[in-house]
Amino acid sequence: MQLWREAWRFAMRSIKGYKMRALLTMLGISFGIFTITFVFTLVNTMQVSLSKNLSSLGNTVIFVHHWPWKDNSEDWYKYFNRRKMRYADYQRLQQHLNDVDALYFAAEIHGVSVQHRGQSVQGASLSGVTRDYLYISGNTLVQGRDFSRLEMQSGRKVCILGYNVAGQLFGGQPAVGQKVRMKGGELLVIGVMAKAGVTLFGSSADEDILIPYPLMTRIYNINERAVDKVIAVKATDYRHMAALESQLIGQMRISRGLRPDVEDDFAINKQESLMQNLNALFGYLNTGGIFISLLSLLVGGFGIANIMFVSVKERTKEIGIQKSLGATRSFILRQFLLESVALCVLGGLLGFVLLFALAGLAQLALNALDLGMTVVIAPGDLLLGLVLSICIGVVSGLLPSLVAARMDPVVAMRQG
């Protein structure tokens, strides 16, 4: 232990003697460690946020839509021209599906304007929905109530506002019982949804206005391409998901009159399938990030090795004196190896400082944008960065340390 402490003292003295050179040397390693931990942090943050957003959909909910949740770059034209969901499809599913806890039909149109006593909201999303919409979507109310069965059946002029829409129209005052004006006349506000924030997909229930579906059919032409439609079905239990999916496909094909040799003109979308596709994407991001980071670390490692060779050359006489006074090869080896490792570890710690600084700024930006995301720095990624720093220090400093350890003391003092 005494020899290790003495070797460490010599290594630190060398680093302190050339502070600027040591700092410039560490920057190469710090950038590499910062890059690899930054990539892992980015992927972790996206995974956690996506898992949070997807969990709100529920793992027992199936969405029937004309677009599948997958890479649509090659077949987008086919999906774009598919028939959209129909209310008749929803009615058939209502009558023939088993093991269903709830289901809804929703028709949505964007870019709607709504007014109240001089206050106006532009660009809201209007959704004509059936019962169970709030239950399946997981949205809760901070004011008022859900639509009654009679309001749904008759299409009364009532609405539920998103949190931001209500805030802009009423300025924090109670909205329930007030009336808002939009296309179709005046609507009575019966509820306000709780603040949901912006999802990672860019949507937000805070900008929504919900009305009964029959009322939607009187205001807009539901068959227009601009009106998006979806059916959501919630199973009574996860164990019934496979059977429910099979029933859905069969009933949808019957409802649409598809022959056995014709492929489905609708998509069955689930949380699991989307998460699988996203995990594959995260895998590619991780692989690409690791490759780029290893290149940075390789360049930094060569820089450390080069500086160590310079350090050995400058301290040739010192090495000769130490060996003439009885220093062993292992002591000289430890001395330069510890210096190399110390430079890399300090560089890694500097990379961590950069990572935490950037993460703090990113979190402030996310909070300001109200995205509901939290930057996730995993302890395992920091440990990996520290281990990589030590490994690079050992690999980069091994050859210069061996050169120093094998010097002949007489030749070393003469050259020095």
Helix (H) or strand (E) holding 112: strand 100-116
Q: Is 194 helix (H, G, I), strand (E, B) or coil?
A: coil
Mean pLDDT value of segment 21-38:
81
Q: Which residue has the higher pLDDT, 189 or 308?
A: 189
What is the DSSP-derived secondary structure letter of residue 235?
A: E
CB 248 within 8 A of CB 268: yes
pLDDT score of 2 more than 80: no
Q: Which of the residue ranges 165-169, 181-185, 368-372, 401-405 has the most confident prediction, judged by mean pLDDT?
A: 165-169
pLDDT of residue 76: 80
Structure confidence at residue 102 as a pLDDT band (50, 70, 90): very high
More confident residue, 412 or 173: 173
Type of residue found at 145: R
* Sequence-separated (6 or more) residues with CB below 8 Å from residue 350: 26, 27, 30
Amino acid at 254: I
22 or 365: which leads in pLDDT: 365
Q: Is the pLDDT of residue 57 over 70?
A: no
User: Which pLDDT value is given to residue 32?
Assistant: 82
Q: How far apart are CA 337 and CA 5, in angstroms?
A: 13
With a pLDDT cut of 90, the percent of the chain lying above it is 33
Q: What's the CA gap between 22 and 17, in Å, rounded?
A: 9
Q: Number of C-alpha atoms within 13 angstroms, CB side, residue 140?
A: 5
Give the least confident one: 96-105, 335-344, 350-359.
335-344
Is the model's pLDDT at 327 over the cut of 60? yes
Asked whether residue 68 carries a pLDDT value surpassing 90, the answer given is: no
- Can you give the residue ranges of every domain in the chain? 2-54+276-415, 83-265
Please, which pLDDT band fits residue 407 given cuts at 50, 70 and 90? confident
Q: Average pLDDT for residues 298-312, to the nearest whole number? A: 80
Estimate to the nearest angstrom the gap between the alpha carbon of 239 and the chain centroid: 28
**pLDDT, position 52:** 65
pLDDT for residue 189 is more than 90: yes
Q: What is the pLDDT of residues 342-401, one digit of tens each?
A: 888 888 899 999 999 999 998 888 887 766 678 888 888 889 888 888 888 888 888 888
Residue 268: what are its φ and ψ, rounded to 5°?
Answer: -100, 110
Mean pLDDT throughout 241-249?
91
Give kind and range of the element (H or E) at residue 186: strand 185-193
What CA–CA distance (Å, rounded) separates 412 from 409?
5
Q: Which residue has the higher pLDDT, 335 or 146?
A: 146
What's the mean pLDDT in 224-246? Answer: 87
3-state secondary structure 68-99: CCCCCCCCHHHHHCCCCCCHHHHHHHHHHCCC
